[in-house]
Amino acid sequence: MSAKIISGTETAKAIREELKVQVAELTEKHKLIPGLVTILVGEDPASQSYVSAKNKTAHALGIHSEQVTLPAETSEEELLALVDKYNKADNIHGILVQLPLPKHINEAKVLYTIDPNKDVDGFHPVNVGKMMLGEQCFLPCTPHGCLELLQRAGVETSGAEVVVVGRSNIVGKPVANLMLQKRAGGNSTVTLCHTRTKDMSMHTKRADILVVAAGVANMITADMVKEGVVVIDVGVNRIGMSESGKAILAGDVDFNSVKEKASAITPVPGGVGPMTITMLMKNTVQAAKQLAGLA
C-alpha cells in the first residue's frame, strides 16, 4: 500500500480562496483592509524565507502587509518600542515577531508585549490560556494548520490514538492540547513524547495519528509506525544545498519508507509549511473583524 499524500499546498490554496473572498468583502462593504506587520530581527536565511512568504501571501489576498527587518544587534528596548508602536497603529490588526530572536533579546518579554487582540501567532499567555480552556482565541498557526489538514482530509480524530513527538511551545504542546479538546477535530487520546521518553517506538507504533515536530531529520522510520497510520510531518530541516544554491529540505519523518506503511502522510516541503502561513492570514482577517467590531 502507498499512502494518500495530504497536500498542504492544495489545502492552503483552497483556504486562501475562501479568505480572498472575505478580504474583498471587508474592503468593499466595510472599508476595512486587514493589516499585518511582520518583524524580523537578524538575517537567518530560513526566517527570511518564511517572512517573505508571509508578506507575499498577504499581498496576494489583498491584506495590507508591512515587513520590518532589523539588524541582529537591535536592542530589546528598540524592539519593544516597535511592538508598542504597532499595538497602537489603527491600520495594523496583526503583529508577528518571527522566532527565534537573537539571544540577547528576551523572547517571552517581547511576546508578552504584543496586544493579545493583535496576537495573530497565538503566543501571548492570554491566548495560550484561552486555548487551554477551549475558549475562542487566536490559535497558533502551525498547530491550527495540522488540525485543518486532518479535518479537510476527512481523518476521524474522535477516539483516535494520537501520538505527538516534540514538546515545543510553538508546536508540540499546543497540538497535543488541541487534539484533546472536547470538540470536532479533537476528542483524541493524546500521548506526548519528547527527548526524555524512554521507548519512543513503543508509543509511535500505537499511533492512529502521528504528529512529528522534533526538528530531527528523518527520525521516524517505517519500523516505528503501524500499518495504516496517518502522519503529519511538521519538521522542516535544511539538510544540504543544491547546485543552484537552494536549500534541500527533509521532514522529521523518513517519507519514502513511511509512506509505504501509512494510509496518509504530509510531504515536506508542501505539507504543514504552507498551512502555517495560511492560518496566519486567517487569524489576521479574524483580528481585523474583531477589532472593527464585525465579529
Residues of this chain that interact with ligand L34 (CB under 6 A) are: 46, 49-50, 53, 96-99, 121, 141-142, 236, 247, 249, 268-271, 273-274, 276-277
CB of 46 to ligand L34, least distance (A): 6
Q: How far is the CB of 105 from ligand L34 (least distance, A)?
A: 13
Minimum distance of ligand L34 from residue 223's CB (angstroms): 25
Based on CB atoms, which residue is closest to ligand L34, 13 or 30?
Answer: 13
- Residue 33's contacts (CB-CB under 8 Å, 6 or more residues apart) are 23, 26, 27, 62, 63, 64, 91, 288
Task: Write the DSSP string, 6-59.
Answer: --HHHHHHHHHHHHHHHHHHHHHHH----EEEEEEES--HHHHHHHHHHHHHHH
Short-list 179, 188, 163, 185, CA closest to 253: 163
Long-range contacts of 69-74 (CB under 8 A, 24+ apart): 69/40, 70/39, 70/40, 70/41, 70/42, 71/41, 71/42, 72/41, 72/42, 72/43, 72/102, 73/102, 74/41, 74/102, 74/105
| Inter-residue long-range contacts of 87-92, CB under 8 Å, 24+ positions, other chains counted | 87/113, 87/114, 87/115, 87/118, 89/35, 89/37, 91/33, 91/35, 91/64, 92/35, 92/36, 92/37, 92/66, 92/118
Which is closer to ligand L34, CB of 168 or CB of 290? 168
Can you tell me the distance from the alpha carbon of 15 to that of 13, in angstroms, rounded to the nearest whole number? Answer: 6
Q: Known catalytic residues?
A: 54, 98, 121
CB of 171 to ligand L34, least distance (A): 8
Nearer of residues 81 and 239 to ligand L34, judged by Cβ: 239
Q: Taking the complex as a whole, how short is the minimal distance between the CB of residue 199 and ligand L34, in angstroms?
A: 29
CB nearer to ligand L34: pick between 34 and 208? 34
Q: Which residues pair with 111 in a beta bridge?
A: none
Closest-CB residue for ligand L34? 273
Residue 272 or residue 291: which is nearer to ligand L34 going by CB? 272
Least distance in Å: CB of 236 to ligand L34? 5
Beta carbon nearer to ligand L34, 8 or 186: 8
